Amino acid sequence: MAKTDLGLEENIEALLAYVLPFSGIAFLLIEKKNQFVRFHAMQSLVFFILWFVLWVISFVLAVIPFFGWIFRFIYSYLLYLLGLILWILLMVKAYQGEKYKVPFVGD
């Protein structure tokens, strides 16, 4: 693995891009040359923005009388579970040195 501008292995830096919701922004600003790290930093931003938008939708759906809170309850748990699984998968793929795109929106 190649070293990055921060002196880290590129797979470690790509993994770190996923650690916090907006750490991808930091790596996009810091890492100008390494395309692998920049790819994962951008995927991190796409993932966390998508997750936030879906979370907001769950709150909007909660205002539907009677069924809203039931739908939000089920939707929220599915959203959190699937989001957590995808988040872990993205971190593992980054560490393994693979370019894995966020499904549906990562293109």
- pLDDT of 41 reads 94
Phi/psi of residue 3, nearest 5 degrees: -85, 155
Predicted TM-score (pTM) of the model is 0.84
Hey, is 62 helix, strand or coil? coil
State how far the Cα of 84 lies from the Cα of 44, in Å rounded to an integer. 13
Phi/psi of residue 9, nearest 5 degrees: -65, 145
Domain boundaries, the chain: 10-95
- pLDDT of 37 reads 92
> How many alpha carbons fall within 13 Å on the CB side of residue 102?
23
For 12-62, write each residue's pLDDT tens digit. Answer: 999 999 999 889 999 999 998 889 999 999 999 999 999 999 888 888 887
- Asked whether the predicted pLDDT for residue 99 surpasses 80, the reply is yes
State how far the Cα of 27 lies from the Cα of 14, in Å rounded to an integer. 8
